[in-house]
């Protein structure tokens, strides 16, 4: 685990490290972020860092795909999520739950998805928040004609998670997976790959996205359900 904690690439690393110094119990009351649309509960001194990440995530999501995330969002720290659920958006509730920030900073949470073990923990922490924000944005906009549109949902969330990683961290993520030198087709973006090998699904989703003539325009079409990556399941 030492080689993970030694690497820091995102500009939140120092702020996270300082915020995670022992400061006593986290305040019970939610902290309101400066944007007036985000509250953070149970994060203690890390709350301002999370506020900054959410503010950046809102801008990034709006600029790539035009996804609307103007409504209020609650961020809550829940140590009972378990390492196999490093982040969760609750549909219809405008609420995201995360593990305690030190779980990400120490690299422990990466054991749940080893595909991201090659990137700096602070960059991973920010990317998890971005992933869940993407789900929040799609909650009120994706028009799915099927019972579930899991592939489309995760395509957008993983793509935005990877697209806005710092360049060296994105390269490290891609290098840590099997090399793909050919074009990725839609047929490779399957529920089976998503469930059995989410890291490979994320890699293929981003490679497919980045090869589009208008990547962010295409992402917006998927997010709105104009382009369907899912199929009806009989």
The model's pLDDT over 154-198, given as tens digits with 9 standing for 90+, comes to 999 999 999 999 999 999 999 888 888 889 998 999 999 999 999
Residues 6+ apart with CB under 8 A from 172: 118, 119
Distance CA 13, CA 53 (A): 12
Strand-pair partners of 89: 96
Phi, psi of 39 (to 5 degrees): -125, 145
Torsion of CA 206, 207, 210, 213, to 10 degrees: -130
Tens of pLDDT along 51-62?
999 999 999 999
Helix intervals (H) in 69-142: 101-105, 121-138
pLDDT of residue 1: 29
pLDDT of residue 24: 47
Distance CA 206, CA 215 (A): 10
CA separation, residue 186 to residues 19, 151, 196, 205 (Å): 42, 10, 17, 9
pLDDT of residue 152: 92
pLDDT of residue 4: 31
**Which ranges of the chain have pLDDT less than 70?**
1-28, 83, 107-113, 232-234
Helix intervals (H) in 106-214: 121-138, 150-163, 167-175, 191-196, 198-210
3-state secondary structure of 88: strand
Distance CA 155, CA 189 (A): 8
Distance CA 109, CA 83 (A): 6
Phi-psi region of 50 (alpha: psi -120 to 50; beta: other; left: phi over 0): alpha
pLDDT of residue 37: 96
Strand-pair partners of 76: 41, 97
Residue 106 per-residue DSSP state: T
Is 183 in contact with 230 (CB distance < 8 Å)?
Answer: no
């Amino acid at each position: 685990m030492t080689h993970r904690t030694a690497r820091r690439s995102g500009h939140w690393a120092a702020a996270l490290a300082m915020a995670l110094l022992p400061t006593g119990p986290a305040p019970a009351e939610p902290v309101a972020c400066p944007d007036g649309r985000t509250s953070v509960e149970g994060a203690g001194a890390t709350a301002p860092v999370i506020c900054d990440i959410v503010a950046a995530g809102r801008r990034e999501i709006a600029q790539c795909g035009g996804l609307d995330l103007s409504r209020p969002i609650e961020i809550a720290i829940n140590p009972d999520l378990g390492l196999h659920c490093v982040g969760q958006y609750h549909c219809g509730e405008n609420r995201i739950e995360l593990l305690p920030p030190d779980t990400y900073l120490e690299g422990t949470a990466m054991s749940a998805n080893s595909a991201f073990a090659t990137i700096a923990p602070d960059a991973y922490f920010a990317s998890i928040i971005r992933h869940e924000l993407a789900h929040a944005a799609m909650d009120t906009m994706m028009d799915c004609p099927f019972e579930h549109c899991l592939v489309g949902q995760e395509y957008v969330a993983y793509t935005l998670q990877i697209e806005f990683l710092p360049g060296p961290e994105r390269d490290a993520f891609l290098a840590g997976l099997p090399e793909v030198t050919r074009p990725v087709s839609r047929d490779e973006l399957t529920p089976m790959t998503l469930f059995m090998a989410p890291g490979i699904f994320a890699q293929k989703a981003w490679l497919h996205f980045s090869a589009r003539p208008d990547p962010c325009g295409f992402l917006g079409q998927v997010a709105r359900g104009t382009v369907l990556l899912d199929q009806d399941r009989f």
